Amino acid sequence: MRDRRVWALAPDDNADLQYLRAQGCRVRRCGSIEDADRETVRAGLLSCDAVLLMADAASNCRTARLARDMGLSLDMVAVMGPARRGELTALLRVGVDWVMRQDDSPALLAAVLRTLRLRRLDHAADAAGLARHGIGPWTLEDQGWSLRHRGGASLRLTVSERAILVCLFEAPGHVASHAMLNQALLQGWRHAYGRRPHDPKPRGVISRLRWRGLQAGMEPPIESLRGYGYVWEI
């Protein structure tokens, strides 16, 4: 989420926007499209890669339609008010990617934005015919035994590190549960030669991977999701 550019149509600077700023997002807010001229709204949409629609249903739909008419490749999330017949359908018809409820937590909003971002990167990689084991500037090479950053830094991986990273890179949304990672470790060591570690734990493997990455001039962006697992952050 760090340095992600978010444009928000929101009447006030609410807890969701404050949470995103705390996560490193650059958030620009427009209080109302009624008070802003069309060119100002256009300029705001052009300067971002994600849009939050937190106004009334009509304003949300009008803004989403403007963004799609401009042909912009944006991740659009709308917050729906109290259940109203037809509002959800209207938002999806104008091209909103995800609809949330007003009582959903800021952490969930951040997770949705992260997942949409990763999905877009995956689609771009597929269209370009890139390797499956690649996320943004990061790739797994040499059959998954080497982690490389576009900046040039690389790291040779251990059996456990390789198993964890292959699991993260292939997981939907690049979010892997503790159960998935534990199973990946078991599978990774099943056909490995040499002495096997005693019950390796994802937490320990990831902690050492972060340390080794820093020594090699890189910082693997693995984020812990408390109570669930880990995500490869972008």
How is the beta sheet containing 50-53 ordered, strand by strand? 26-30, 5-9, 50-53, 75-80, 98-101
- 151: Cβ contacts below 8 Å, ≥ 6 apart: 137, 218
* Spans of the chain below 50 pLDDT: 130-131
Buried b (16+ CB within 10 A) or exposed e, 25-35: bebebbeebee
Q: What is the pLDDT of residue 21?
A: 93
What is the value of pTM for the model shown?
A: 0.60
- Enter the DSSP assignment of 101: E
Q: What is the pLDDT of residue 51?
A: 95
Task: Name the E strands within the chain.
Answer: 5-9, 26-30, 50-53, 75-80, 98-101, 134-135, 138-141, 146-149, 154-156, 175-177, 222-225, 229-232
Contact between 185 and 163 (Cβ < 8 Å)? yes
- 33: Cβ contacts below 8 Å, ≥ 6 apart: 9, 41, 55, 59, 62, 63
Residues of the chain with CATH 3.40.50.2300: 5-126
Topology of domain 5-126, CATH: Rossmann fold (3.40.50)
Topology of domain 131-232, CATH: Arc Repressor Mutant, subunit A (1.10.10)
Q: What is the pLDDT of residue 191?
A: 64
**Residue 221: Cβ within 10 Å count:** 16
Q: What is the pLDDT of residue 48?
A: 92
Q: What is the pLDDT of residue 130?
A: 47
Beta bridge partner(s), residue 138:
135, 149
Q: What would the two tokens of residue 122 be?
A: 């995956």
Cα 131 off chain centre by: 19
Q: Average pLDDT over the chain, rounded to whole? A: 85
> Per-residue pLDDT tens for 113-145?
887 877 776 665 555 554 456 788 898 888 788
Residues of the chain with CATH 1.10.10.10: 131-232
